[in-house]
Amino acid sequence: MFVLGYTRPRIKKEEWLLVFPAGIAMIGKLMQGHLLWYEIKASRYRYLTRGHHASSGLCLVISTRASISISIPDIYNVPLPCIEQIMLRQARQAGVFIK
């Protein structure tokens, strides 16, 4: 299990991304919720501009089988490519292959 966190001086609440054997959970002011590995269809990168999210820059976008897109901004203490690799490894270990 991996817990990734970030505290911004302007945000009074911490942001956490939890990658666990069954899926991911997002906890904080900007993002809240969870996804199980079998719900995820694909992941890709996208560049966001300020206004779409609290931060601008590179985001990891998770697409679900229910046609929902979830953006994970590059705000955590681990670079997005590492987060993606951790997620893909956990999903594979659970028997799910994400594109």
- Three-point CA angle 55, 80, 31, nearest 5°: 50
- Asked if 37 and 94 count as a contact pair (C-beta separation under 8 A), the reply is yes
Please state the domain count of the chain.
1
Structure tokens at 96: 């799910």
Question: How is residue 66 annotated by DSSP?
Answer: T
| pLDDT digit string, tens, across residues 56-77 | 688 999 999 999 998 888 888 7
Question: How is residue 91 annotated by DSSP?
Answer: H
d(CA 70, CA 84): 13
Its sign, for the CA torsion 10, 11, 14, 16, is negative
Q: Provide the residue range defining the domain that includes 53.
A: 2-93
What's the pTM value of the predicted model, to 2 decimals? 0.75
CATH value at residue 34:
2.30.29.30
Let me know if residue 99 belongs to a domain.
Answer: no
Q: Identify the residue with better confidence: 87 or 51.
A: 87
